[in-house]
Amino acid sequence: MLLAALGFSLMGGAAKLLKGGFNAGQLVFFRNLVGAVGLTTAFIAKPPVNKGGKFHWLLFRGIMGTVALYTLLYCVLHLPLSTAMTYNLTSAIFIALFSFLLFKEYHGVAVLLAVLIGFAGMLLVYKPNMHYPWYYHAVGLLSGIVSAIAYITLGKLAPYYDSRVIVSSFIFCGVLIPSLFMIIGQLGHIANDDFFFIRWKWPHGIEWFYILWLGVAALFGQYFVTKAYGTDKAGVISVFGYANIIFSVFIGLALGDAFPNVISWAGICCIIVSGIIISLVKRKSPDL
């Protein structure tokens, strides 16, 4: 999960560098196109072995993952990177809620406390503000909800499919859905927007490097988040996703963001404490 957080943080940095040249739908397409090439190569080198039988869940995972990526990249392009990641990381709260309501997964007061501490730390680091149109924030909240649904399905699919196949459901949906909307927009003469209806655009110059960075970092993160959620319960493993904040702070510094202040460092400490609590709880309760 720590490796996954690093990959997604790097993806966010690449998307921010592409701001102004590409919209959310175009970035979804290119991000997944790079991933599709990588996965196809991996399948040729080592064909997957699957038990199968849950194709409907596999398709559902792909669609939910694609919608989550649309909403995340939309927020990254229109909100500060810190605020966008804040909304996406609310997925941990929704994972805990959905895991309890749908699957009766309850990990005790200590884990609940760790989730709350981690969320409080996230707010201290990012300090989201409301000086933006309400619909940006609505899309951000949707990002957290849909991401939670997508993550929960990973644990349900792990016994039936190779990790790469689960990732491919998301990757190939992420290529097909933007392509479909691109064709519909062209044939129906529908005006461009920042989300679904897009026009084809070739990257130029350094943009090729950023596109490659975007796709490789995302594939890296997606592979390891799939491995993480496939080997533990979603409500527990999600807490380690808060490491995304720590990585994002340093990536932000590299991209020219201001050095975190005392409040931000207090938030980082809260996140580390939440991880320690989870680690201790898992040691005492191996069945988790």
Neighbours of 165 (CB within 10 A): 18
pTM of structure:
0.78
The per-residue pLDDT for 285 is 47
* Residue partners of 12: CB distance under 8 A and separation at least 6: 72, 76, 81, 84, 85, 248, 251
Secondary structure (3-state) at 199: coil
What is the spatial distance between Cα 32 and Cα 30, in angstroms, rounded to a whole number? Answer: 5
The stretches in the chain having pLDDT less than 50 are: 283, 285-288
Strand partners, 22: 19
Give residue-wise pLDDT tens across range 5-33. 888 889 888 988 888 788 888 898 998 89
The per-residue pLDDT for 224 is 84
Secondary structure (3-state) at 22: strand
The per-residue pLDDT for 209 is 93
What is the spatial distance between Cα 78 and Cα 264, in angstroms, rounded to a whole number? Answer: 22
- The answer for 79, left when phi > 0, alpha when psi is -120 to 50, beta otherwise, is beta
